[in-house]
Amino acid sequence: MARLKFLGSTREIGRAGFFLQEKDESLLIDFGTKFLDPPAFPDMIPTENLQGVALTHAHLDHSGGIPLILRNSEASLFCTPATRDLSLLLLRDMYKISGGRLPFDRKDIAHIRRQCQATAYEETIPLGHRFEMTLFNAGHIPGSAMVSVRVDGKRILFTGDFNATESQLNPGARKNLPKHDIVVTESTYARRKNPPREDIEQALMETVLGTLENKGTVLIPAFGVGRSQEIMCILERYNLPRKYKIYVDGMARDVNEILMRHPEYLQSPQAFQRAVGRVIEINDNRERSMITKKPGVIISPAGMLKGGASHLYFKMLHDDPKNTIVFVSFQIPGTPGAELLATRKVTVGSRTFDVTADVRQHHLSSHSDSEGMMDMLERIPGEPEFFVVHGESESCDAMAENLRSRGRVAHVPEQNEEVRF
């Protein structure tokens, strides 16, 4: 009888981790962090019989603790090549920002590349004597995967973060999945319905063009992995006039370079190449100051105005009504971005900024909404039993109740809960 332990991501977003054991062998899916002070990780697992580590995607709430595992094990890491390279970038950045105050160091991060067995979608890999693993496209960010594991005659799907809706950057998640007995699913937006993506893109373009034609500057604080690149692709898709410059700053520059090396994970490699060829990279404060003085679009991390170059741009642009600050992701309560949307003010350190620039939100989600999740999950053959994770407590409960109302068996596990099957 196999055992599944929920190490984290239970009634919360962060520190994802799932530990499978069958007799004397084990398999780990994800091992992420939660950004507390200090950062929180799942409880450590025994690694002596670990046959492998599968990583759904590069975001740190899924990958942030992987160096802790690999430094204690010779097991291979299985993920797509894009996830490998993006994870290295994010982990190094996390270590730099922490000032070294993490339970691992740069040498441990290097195990990501050294122990990674790059894995393609649809490729089935035997792990030890007990497990078989297959990755399916998850549509969340380039290279993201759902992990399907066969063990003891049953098949378990770990959705990771998924998005069944294609975007200008990503193809949507694979919907025609094979039969599964158990599904461990995210529930991030189980209580949210998104407008059609094309409507959001067109509204974003109207905001951008209106600002530029009014001789203002558009600041788009955006996550460096995924969201920045999607904005670039949208501006390319809707033919932003060439007289307006597009600038990219921060981590997004490195991510562009990584994705150019892995075009197979993009919706349109040709469109992405055109988008990258159009943008101008910004590298220092002199350039940052210069580009705020004329109409243009600035795409810069961090996505919630929590540090990064977007902080600097905000200070230079916030007090001119011709300018617009556009948020393209959910703003977590308590972040500067959420404060700005709610009050038109932002407190940074001891200073409060009154904002006269226009402030907009055009939410380009990288997760399926409630309808998209249910549509995809109900397509999975085999009447699987569902375990709902990766969402605030209310979202987990809402997703489980929605599944039950459609005749499915669904549970909301607690941290370190273990089930046998």
Task: Indicate the residue type of 299.
Answer: I
CA–CA dist 311, 314 (Å, integer): 5
The model's pTM is: 0.95
pLDDT of the residue at 182: 98
Q: How confident is the model at residue 305 (pLDDT cuts 50, 70, 90)?
A: confident
Least confident piece of the model among 50-59, 222-231, 332-341, 406-415:
332-341
pLDDT of the residue at 244: 97
Beta bridge partners of 131: 127, 151
pLDDT of the residue at 330: 86
pLDDT of the residue at 167: 96
Q: How confident is the model at residue 263 (pLDDT cuts 50, 70, 90)?
A: very high
Average pLDDT over residues 341-369: 91
Is the confidence at residue 213, as pLDDT, over 80?
A: yes
Average pLDDT value over all residues in the chain = 95
pLDDT, one tens digit per residue, over 365-388 is 999 999 999 999 999 999 999 999
* Residues in CB range of 249: below 8 A, 6 or more apart: 281, 282, 288, 298, 299, 300, 301, 309, 310, 313
| Residue 13: both structure tokens together | 């977003």
Is the confidence at residue 349, as pLDDT, over 80?
A: no
Q: How confident is the model at residue 49 (pLDDT cuts 50, 70, 90)?
A: very high
- Bridging pattern class, strands 345-348 and 358-361: unpaired
pLDDT, one tens digit per residue, over 15-39 is 999 999 999 999 999 999 998 888 9
Is the confidence at residue 334, as pLDDT, over 90?
A: no
pLDDT of the residue at 306: 82
Q: How confident is the model at residue 304 (pLDDT cuts 50, 70, 90)?
A: confident
Is the confidence at residue 100, as pLDDT, over 90?
A: no
pLDDT of the residue at 101: 87
Residue whose C-alpha is closest to residue 204's, from 414, 364, 372 = 364
Show the domains of the chain with their CATH numbers. 3-192+366-420 (3.60.15.10), 197-361 (3.40.50.10890)
